[in-house]
Amino acid sequence: MPDDPISVVVPAHDEAAVIGRLLRALEEGRLPGDQIVVACDGCEDDTADVARGFDGVSVLELPRGGKPSALNAGDRVSTQFPRFFVDADVVVTAAALREVAGRMSDRVEAGAPSCFVDSSRSSFVVRRYYDVWTRLPYLSRGLLGSGVVGLSERGRSRFGEFPDVIGDDEFVRRLFSVEERVASTETTFTITAPRTLGALIRVKTRSRLGVLQLDEMHGRATLDTTSGSSSRALLQLARRPRFWVAIAIYTTIRSVTHVRAARRFRNRDFEGWERDETSRELWGTS
C-alpha cells in the first residue's frame, strides 16, 4: 500500500497566492503514478497558470459553481485510491498522505494526517483560542476535516456526489464512525490560523453554519459526537491556571459564533465560497 499511487483533488477559487505552496509540498514523496488534480472553480486570478507550472498536475478550468461542484469535477477525473481531497490553503506532503493510505484497511476507510495549526502570525486572542481548540478531542479521534480528507475506494462508495453544502468535510466525517477512520500520529498537515479576531469569528461562524445545515438535511450526527468529551477536556484544562485566559477567550468566541451562525441559518444565508483572506495575505503569488 505505501508504494501504491494515490489521487489528490484540490478545489480552488482564486488561490494563486497559496496553490504553489501546496503543490511544492506535494512533490515530497510523490510517486510517478500519483494523480494531482486542481479544479479551478471560476478563477479570475492566476491559479490555473501557477498549477500548470508543476509537472504532472492536471488542471480543470470550470465555470463558477461553488466548492462542491469543484470537488465533484476533480473526483470524476480521478482514478486512483485512496483519494485525498485537500484544500488549496493547507500544506501537506504526498509522503504524509501516503503514510495515511498505508493505514487504511478493510475496516479503516477514511483518514488524514494530524492537524498542526500555525498561529505564529496571529493576534494574541487568536493564538489563545487555538491553545484550547488544538487540545480538544476533535483532533485526536480520527480527524477528518480542516482541509484534508482521505477515502479508500470502499469509503468513497458511501456517497454519490458531494452535496451542495457548506461543510463538505463535516458531511464526509459523519459517514464514518471513530473506528472506521484514522488520524496519523506520524505525519501532519498544516493550516494557517486567521491573523485577526474578526477573521477567526467569520471562519468559525461559517463552520458552525455548515453543521446546522447538515443537521437540518440529515439529522444530528449519530456515529460520533465529541460534545461531552470536549466539555470534560475543558474542565481538565481549567485545572491549570495558565489556560484560564485561553478558556475564557475560547468559550466567548464559541458562543459568539454560535449566535451568529444561528442568525444566518434563520435567514437562509448560505452563500458560496468563503474563506479567511488574512492568512492568504502572508504568501506571494508563486
Whether 223 has a pLDDT exceeding 60, the answer reads no
Of 229 and 154, the structure prediction assigns the larger pLDDT to 154
Residue 117: enclosing H or E segment and its boundaries?
strand 110-118
CB count in 10 Å sphere of residue 196: 15
The pLDDT of residue 119 is: 95
- Give the residue-averaged pLDDT of 32-55: 96
| In contact, 100 and 112? CB cutoff 8 Å | yes
The pLDDT of residue 286 is: 37
* Predicted confidence band of residue 23 (pLDDT cuts 50, 70, 90): very high
Task: Give domain status of residue 41, yes or no.
Answer: yes
Measured CA angle at 249 (ends 244, 255), to 5 deg: 125
Range of the domain at 231: 7-269
Of 274 and 137, the structure prediction assigns the larger pLDDT to 137
- Give the residue-averaged pLDDT of 103-111: 89
Domain count, the chain: 1
Task: Give domain status of residue 195, yes or no.
Answer: yes
Question: For residue 58, what are the β-bridge partners?
Answer: 37
Close Cβ partners of 248 (under 8 Å, ≥ 6 residues apart): none
Task: Give domain status of residue 278, yes or no.
Answer: no
- Give the residue-averaged pLDDT of 196-201: 95
Question: For residue 60, what are the β-bridge partners?
Answer: 39
Task: Give domain status of residue 279, yes or no.
Answer: no
Whether 9 has a pLDDT exceeding 80, the answer reads yes
Whether the model clears a pTM of 0.85, i.e. scores above it, the answer is yes
Whether 221 has a pLDDT exceeding 90, the answer reads no
Task: Give domain status of residue 135, yes or no.
Answer: yes
* Predicted confidence band of residue 141 (pLDDT cuts 50, 70, 90): low
CATH of the domain at 141: 3.90.550.10
Measured CA angle at 182 (ends 180, 186), to 5 deg: 165
Task: Give domain status of residue 190, yes or no.
Answer: yes
Residues 231-269 pLDDT 10s: 888 899 999 999 999 999 999 999 999 999 999 999 888
| In contact, 152 and 103? CB cutoff 8 Å | no
Backbone angles phi, psi at 128, to 5 degrees: -65, -35
Whether 163 has a pLDDT exceeding 90, the answer reads yes
Task: Give domain status of residue 14, yes or no.
Answer: yes
Of 258 and 139, the structure prediction assigns the larger pLDDT to 258
Tell me how far the alpha carbon of residue 184 is from its chain's centroid.
15
The C-alpha atoms of residue 206 and residue 209 are separated, in whole angstroms, by 5
Q: Any idea how long the chain is?
A: 286
- Share above pLDDT 90 across residues of the chain, in percent, rounded to a whole number: 70
Q: Is omega for the bond preceding 82 within 30 degrees of 0, making it cis?
A: yes
* Predicted confidence band of residue 285 (pLDDT cuts 50, 70, 90): very low
- Share above pLDDT 70 across residues of the chain, in percent, rounded to a whole number: 90
Backbone angles phi, psi at 12, to 5 degrees: -150, 135
The C-alpha atoms of residue 226 and residue 9 are separated, in whole angstroms, by 28
Residue linked to cell 497559496: 18
Task: Give domain status of residue 61, yes or no.
Answer: yes
- 113: exposed, middle or buried (Cβ count in 10 Å: 0-12, 13-18, 19+): buried
